[in-house]
Amino acid sequence: MVALEAMAMGTPVIASEVGGLAHLVQHGVNGFHVPSRDPEALAARILELLTDDELRIHLGEQARIYTRRYHWSAIVERMLDVYAEVVPANA
């Protein structure tokens, strides 16, 4: 949730490709993936975002847009769609 909340605030996320982060962070779109246990790669991506304002702003905006699909109203709509597929209308 921390990564999603950061993205919702327009912050690009740098993460290892583990668990949900592998799917949440889209490399080069709304943040970056770095190999696990590679502090040099992590430091390089952090430095890149600190020194490239245009890239940081662009990825941050893409992150903010991406998180809209996780807004509660969107989640409820998807859940209702699933229920409608599973439960017959006249049940």
Averaged over 4-27, what is the pLDDT?
A: 95
Q: What is the dihedral of CA 14, 17, 65, 49, to 10 degrees?
A: 20
The residue ranges of every structural domain in the chain are 2-86
Three-state DSSP state, 21: helix
Averaged over 14-20, what is the pLDDT?
A: 93
pLDDT digits (tens, 9 = 90+) for 32-60: 999 999 999 999 999 999 999 999 999 99
Class of domain 2-86: alpha beta
Within the chain, residue ranges assigned H as helices are 2-8, 21-24, 39-51, 53-66, 72-86
Check pLDDT > 90 for residue 90: no
pLDDT digits (tens, 9 = 90+) for 68-87: 998 888 888 889 999 999 99
Check pLDDT > 80 for residue 91: no
